[in-house]
């Protein structure tokens, strides 16, 4: 499900000002009055416009935004993605830059196990793009 932030194309820590500017820019692009149905027959645009409108209604209000942020946080904490596979650390690639072990996910993304997590025995590596996770099999020397 797309978050209100994604709908407006802003980061979750965007300032009220950034949110407002993003909203205004999108409205200019997508307002139904500005759509020429003959050139641009676009039920998608109308749908998109509604989503943006809804996102804006929530995020422009400090209290509503705070509540929405809490819901998002709650959702991400409650959601435990399935463990897709057990992967031996020897099969993973080590990335020096991020000090992480990575393994390709079937979605095209990468499972990422940071060294810091592995050191504290957090052996579940989430995919960076989908909700799947793997368990990393390793032993600390």
The rounded distance, in Å, linking the Cα atoms of 49 and 91 is: 46
CB of 22 to Zn ion, least distance (A): 28
Contacting residue, 107, 115, 116, 137, with Zn ion by CB under 5 A: 107
Contacting residue, 117, 123, 130, 135, with Zn ion by CB under 5 A: 130
The rounded distance, in Å, linking the Cα atoms of 48 and 8 is: 10
Contacts with Zn ion, 67-106, as mask; x by CB under 5 A? --------------------------------------x-
The rounded distance, in Å, linking the Cα atoms of 69 and 63 is: 10
Q: Residue 101: exposed, middle, or buried by beta-carbon count in 10 A (0-12, 13-18, 19+)?
A: buried
**127 forms part of the interface with Zn ion (CB under 5 A):** yes
Contacting residue, 35, 48, 95, 109, with Zn ion by CB under 5 A: 109
Count of other CB atoms within 10 angstroms of residue 11 = 11
**Which region among 18-26, 29-37, 83-91, 107-115 touches Zn ion (by CB under 5 A)?**
107-115
CB of 134 to Zn ion, least distance (A): 10
CB of 44 to Zn ion, least distance (A): 26
Q: Which of residues 15-74 bind Zn ion (CB under 5 A)?
A: none
What's the full length of the chain, in residues?
141
CB of 124 within 8 A of CB of 114? no
What are 70's strand-pairing partners? none
Q: Which is nearer to Zn ion, 98 or 128 (CB)?
A: 128
Rg (alpha carbons) of the chain, rounded to whole number: 20
* Binding footprint of Zn ion on the chain (CB under 5 A): 105, 107, 109, 127, 130, 132
């Amino acid at each position: 499900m797309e978050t209100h932030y994604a709908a407006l194309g802003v980061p979750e820590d965007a300032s009220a000002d950034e949110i407002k500017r993003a909203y205004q820019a999108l409205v200019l692009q997508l307002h139904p009055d500005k759509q020429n149905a003959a050139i641009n027959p676009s039920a998608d645009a109308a749908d998109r416009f509604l989503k943006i409108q809804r996102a804006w209604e929530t995020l422009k209000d400090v209290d509503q935004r705070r509540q929405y942020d809490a819901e998002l946080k709650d959702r991400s904490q409650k959601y435990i993605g399935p463990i897709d596979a057990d992967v031996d650390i020897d099969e993973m690639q080590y990335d020096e830059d991020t000090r992480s072990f990575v393994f390709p996910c079937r979605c095209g993304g990468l499972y990422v196990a940071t060294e810091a997590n592995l050191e504290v025995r957090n052996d579940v590596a989430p995919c960076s793009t989908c909700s799947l996770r793997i368990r990393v099999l390793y032993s600390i020397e």
